Amino acid sequence: MKLQRVLSLVRKAIDDYHMIEAGDKIAVGISGGKDSLTLLYALAELRRFYPLSFDILAVTVDLGFDNLNLEQIQALCKELQTEYQIIHTDIAQIVFKDRQETNPCSLCAKMRKGALNMAVKSAGCNKVAYAHHKDDVVETMMMSLIYEGRIHTFSPVTYLDRTELTVIRPLMYMKEADVIGFVNKYQVPVVKSPCPADGHTKREYVKELLRKINSETPGVKERMFTAIQESSIKGWDKNGRN
């Protein structure tokens, strides 16, 4: 996928759900994976011509694994003229060694978000951009249905009362296949996650289930996304009525 198409989809999401206001300082959470780097690339480029002036700060929460190399991401941020901060933590030690969690993802995510939010508030950011794409939206809804017994997914825009930060998801109109195509075309330097739980989660199970359903009945995921947009799930009405 070409950069212009990525920018078109990202700008549509931002405009449809009023994600950016003049003067925003937006932290972009960088895991090193394809999604977060695509988001960084898109917002850095969009910043040059978007009618509302905003700034971005790239931030990586280092969980404390020994084999995480961020040199290529540092070089990319320099190329994109974007400030980059690395937050060093002991999350890996706490989750995998001290507590030896059998299902580590929930605790890890909570601690990672806490460290990220604290750091970006200190840096003067008022918003945080997450790299959730269209497939993530549908997968989260399916996980909620299967494991929680409710129809729910995250919102395009979420205000966090405790931190007074607003979370935005500008990639929500991009499919995962679009992200992969972009990363391959522009040789974006993806860093493989050193987490031992990577690829062995409930989300991976649901991702594979949806892939199977969509291959047997093409267009299912797209129709599910449309159903979410037209539902009463909080935050999905473009006019702000839910």
How many of the other CB atoms lie within 10 Å of CB of 226?
11
Q: Determine, yes or no, domain membership for 57.
A: yes
Q: Determine, yes or no, domain membership for 239.
A: no
Q: Determine, yes or no, domain membership for 144.
A: yes
Query: How confident is the model over 139-172, as pLDDT tens digits?
Result: 999 999 999 999 999 999 999 998 999 999 999 9
CA dist 235 and 242 (Å) reads 6
Q: Rg for the chain (alpha carbons), in Å?
A: 18
CA dist 72 and 60 (Å) reads 13
Tell me: pLDDT of 40 over 70: yes
CB–CB of 133/174 below 8 Å? yes
Query: How confident is the model over 44-64, as pLDDT tens digits?
Result: 999 999 999 999 999 999 888
- The H-assigned helical ranges of 123-231 are 134-143, 176-186, 202-216, 220-229
> Which of 33-42, 99-108, 109-118 has the highest mean predicted lDDT (pLDDT)?
33-42
What does the pLDDT read at residue 241?
66
For the chain, how many structural domains are there in total? 1
- CA angle centred on 232, ends 226 and 233, rounded to 5°: 80
Q: What are phi and psi of 62, to 5 degrees?
A: -80, 115
As a whole number of Å, the end-to-end CA separation of the chain is 33
Where residue 200 falls among pLDDT bands split at 50, 70, 90? low
Q: Determine, yes or no, domain membership for 143.
A: yes
Q: Determine, yes or no, domain membership for 164.
A: yes
CA dist 40 and 27 (Å) reads 10
What does the pLDDT read at residue 34?
95
Q: Which two three-digit tokens encode residue 178? A: 């679009």
Instruction: Write the CA distances from 170 to 55, 86, 103, 129, integer angstroms.
Output: 15, 22, 29, 7
Q: Determine, yes or no, domain membership for 238.
A: no
Residues 175-181 have a mean pLDDT of 96
Number of H helices, E strands in the chain: 9, 6
Query: How confident is the model over 51-97, as pLDDT tens digits?
Result: 999 999 999 998 888 777 899 999 999 999 999 999 988 888 888 88
Where residue 185 falls among pLDDT bands split at 50, 70, 90? very high
CB–CB of 128/168 below 8 Å? yes
Burial class (CB in 10 A: 0-12, 13-18, 19+), 130: buried
Query: How confident is the model over 127-141, as pLDDT tens digits?
Result: 999 999 999 999 999
pTM, whole model, 2 decimals? 0.92
- Counted residue by residue, the chain has a size of 242
CATH of the domain at 217: 3.40.50.620
State which amino acid sits at residue 15. D
What does the pLDDT read at residue 95?
84
What does the pLDDT read at residue 201?
75
Where residue 105 falls among pLDDT bands split at 50, 70, 90? confident
Residues 205-232 have a mean pLDDT of 94
What does the pLDDT read at residue 159?
95
The range of the structural domain enclosing residue 111 comes to 3-229
Tell me: pLDDT of 98 over 90: no
Q: Provide the CA 216 distance to its chain's centre, in angstroms.
A: 28
Query: How confident is the model over 206-217, as pLDDT tens digits?
Result: 999 999 999 999
